[in-house]
Amino acid sequence: MNFAIYHQELTEMDEREQEERQREQTEQERTPSGHRQENASANVESETADPMDVDETPVEQFSGTVSAARIEAFERVFGQHMRTNRLDDISIADIETIVNNNGVGASRFSADEIMALLEKLQDDNKVMISDGKVHII
């Protein structure tokens, strides 16, 4: 039964791809050859430029205090990463990347804020900071 379903889906996909190729071919035939090269180079430029145009979420200015919600979010993401990957230590730079790329809120953690949070964890005897690395206790 799966073969019949998937085989049918594959043939429909092949038909759509073939129709798309035909449309592209007819569009190329309509345009003069000089324009085709310009359009192709314009498409390549726009394709290469788009991945670099990533909007960064703003980094909040660190005021010296951290809200309870941000402390909880940081500890959750940091702890989950350490447990999931079974790590005993991690560099501070890696921590910054992890907490800022794992959806901890609308604003990113600054380097100063991360250091303050790690120092709080160290004061609570949960981690030890040494030589740019954080060791789990």
The answer to whether the CB of 116 falls within 8 A of the CB of 135 is no
Architecture of the domain defined by 68-136: Orthogonal Bundle (1.10)
| Phi, psi torsion values for 136, nearest 5 degrees | -75, 135
User: How many whole angstroms separate alpha carbon 80 and alpha carbon 35?
Assistant: 53
Amino acid identity of residue 74, one-letter, is F
Kindly report the pTM of this predicted structure: 0.53
64-117, pLDDT tens digit by residue? Answer: 788 888 899 899 999 999 999 999 999 999 999 999 988 655 678 899 999 999
Q: How is the chain split into domains, by residue range? A: 2-52, 68-136
20-47, pLDDT tens digit by residue? Answer: 888 888 777 776 654 544 444 444 444 4
